[in-house]
Amino acid sequence: MQRRLGFTLIELLVVIAVIAVLMGILMPALHMARMQAQRVVCATRLKDMGHSLYMYAQEFDGRLPPMNEVRPQQTAGHYTRWFRSGDNTWWNLGFMWKAGIITDGKIFYCPSTQVRFKYEDYSDPVFPASSTVDANPGTRVSFMYNPVCVSVTNRSRQFSRLSQLKGSRTLLIADSFLDGNVPHRKGWNVLAGDFSISQVMNSEVANLVETYRSGLMEADYVHFDRIVQLLLGQTVHTQ
């Protein structure tokens, strides 16, 4: 009897089909695992920023980093993610870089592929410009900092000192929801005023983000504030 060498075409096709089925089963699981790993890294970076904010406040007489060196209020565009502007004016979380409290630039960025404003090089104090507009070459991060304002009409920040934070009722830092950012499987990491981390998965937030994915401007503050309230999981009463 002649010995058969190798596989028949049918056997090869069966093997290929089995491999394809296994890949179809494994790929979603691998994707979910990668997304979960990104969320954990993001939460760790939020935690690091929380510790750094506390250190900053201790160093600066209990004051939290302001919005800007020269501008006291949020204006059109909700400047909660600005780090430094093209005229070398420091903003928000950028003050912790300026003070030397945070020296690793990666901390300011969520690793999710679903967010804007990530950079290849984090070693330069003036990160590559995040804006494609030559006249506006500032740097932004992928987190929103201290976004709660006094009211829809008074855009002064409600919390300017560490002593004013209201524990879990204060949204201190969160994954940005501007520009349609939905970084973690329809969820957002949130650092509260007690420096605890939580993940918020809320369909109303997702719907609002999708509706205003082209950008929340000054006329949309009511929607901006509504999303902030939902990220806290409760209604935030402002003056």
If you average pLDDT over residues 5-30, what whole number do you get? Answer: 70
Quickly state the pLDDT bin for 16 (edges 50, 70, 90). confident
Residue 24, classed as helix, strand or coil, is: helix
Per-residue model confidence (pLDDT) at position 130 = 46
If you average pLDDT over residues 69-90, what whole number do you get? Answer: 77
Per-residue model confidence (pLDDT) at position 123 = 60
Q: Is 9 exposed, middle or buried (0-12, 13-18, 19+ CB in 10 A)?
A: exposed
Q: DSSP string spanning 137-181?
A: --EE-SEEES--BS-SS--BBS--BGGG--GGG-EEEEE--GGG-
* CA 66 – CA 68 distance, rounded (Å): 5
Query: How many structural domains does the chain have?
Result: 1
Mean confidence (pLDDT) of the chain: 80
Look at residue 131 and tell me if it is in a domain: yes
Residue 40, classed as helix, strand or coil, is: helix
Which comes out higher in pLDDT, residue 221 or 77?
221
Look at residue 2 and tell me if it is in a domain: no
Look at residue 1 and tell me if it is in a domain: no
Look at residue 92 and tell me if it is in a domain: yes
Look at residue 93 and tell me if it is in a domain: yes
Quickly state the pLDDT bin for 168 (edges 50, 70, 90). confident
Share of the chain above pLDDT 90, in %: 26
- Which residue segment(s) compose the domain that 177 sits in? 9-232
Look at residue 106 and tell me if it is in a domain: yes
pLDDT digit string (tens) for 116-151? 777 666 665 555 444 444 455 678 888 999 998 888
Look at residue 139 and tell me if it is in a domain: yes
Per the listing, tokens 């000054």 go with: 218
Q: How many CB atoms lie within 10 A of CB 137?
A: 16
The encoded tokens of residue 176 equal 């940005």
* CA 194 – CA 66 distance, rounded (Å): 19
If you average pLDDT over residues 160-169, what whole number do you get? Answer: 89
Look at residue 138 and tell me if it is in a domain: yes
